[in-house]
């Protein structure tokens, strides 16, 4: 069985990678805000209402950013799980052959 220290180390690595993927995804999401742009249209009682100038561009960047976050998190999880499993199998093979 994997030790708690190993599990906690791998979990902290996973959290670090989640933060990195989230930053990358939110940068792309923010680019969508810039590309989408904002306009102001007059609303009721002459109160300005902000609207998205190009909502399709914003939506495309939002979806790309979301998928980068989602796929990056999943890929990191699978990579770390495979690494933990391979290390554990290797450790058990070493101890059984000795």
pLDDT at 77: 97
Tens digit of each residue's pLDDT, the chain (98 residues): 889 999 999 999 999 999 999 999 999 999 998 888 878 888 788 788 878 888 999 999 999 999 999 999 999 999 999 999 999 999 999 988 76
CA-to-CA distance for 98 and 93, rounded, in angstroms?
Answer: 9
pLDDT given at position 33: 86
Q: Output the 3-class SS for 85-98.
A: HHHHHHHHHHHHHC
Q: Distance between CA atoms of 40 and 51, rounded to whole angstroms?
A: 6
Q: Strand ranges (DSSP E) for 34-79?
A: 38-42, 48-52
Q: 30, 62 in Cβ contact below 8 A?
A: no
Overall pTM surpassing 0.85 (yes/no): no
């Amino acid at each position: 069985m994997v030790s708690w220290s190993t599990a906690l180390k791998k979990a902290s690595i996973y959290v670090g990678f989640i933060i990195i993927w989230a930053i990358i995804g939110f940068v792309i999401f923010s680019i969508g805000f810039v590309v989408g742009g904002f306009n102001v249209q007059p609303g009721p009682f002459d109160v300005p209402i902000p609207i998205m100038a190009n909502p399709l561009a914003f939506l495309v960047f939002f979806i790309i950013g979301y998928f980068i976050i989602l796929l990056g998190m999943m890929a990191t999880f699978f990579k770390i799980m495979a690494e933990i499993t391979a290390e554990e199998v290797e450790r058990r093979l070493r101890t059984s052959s000795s």
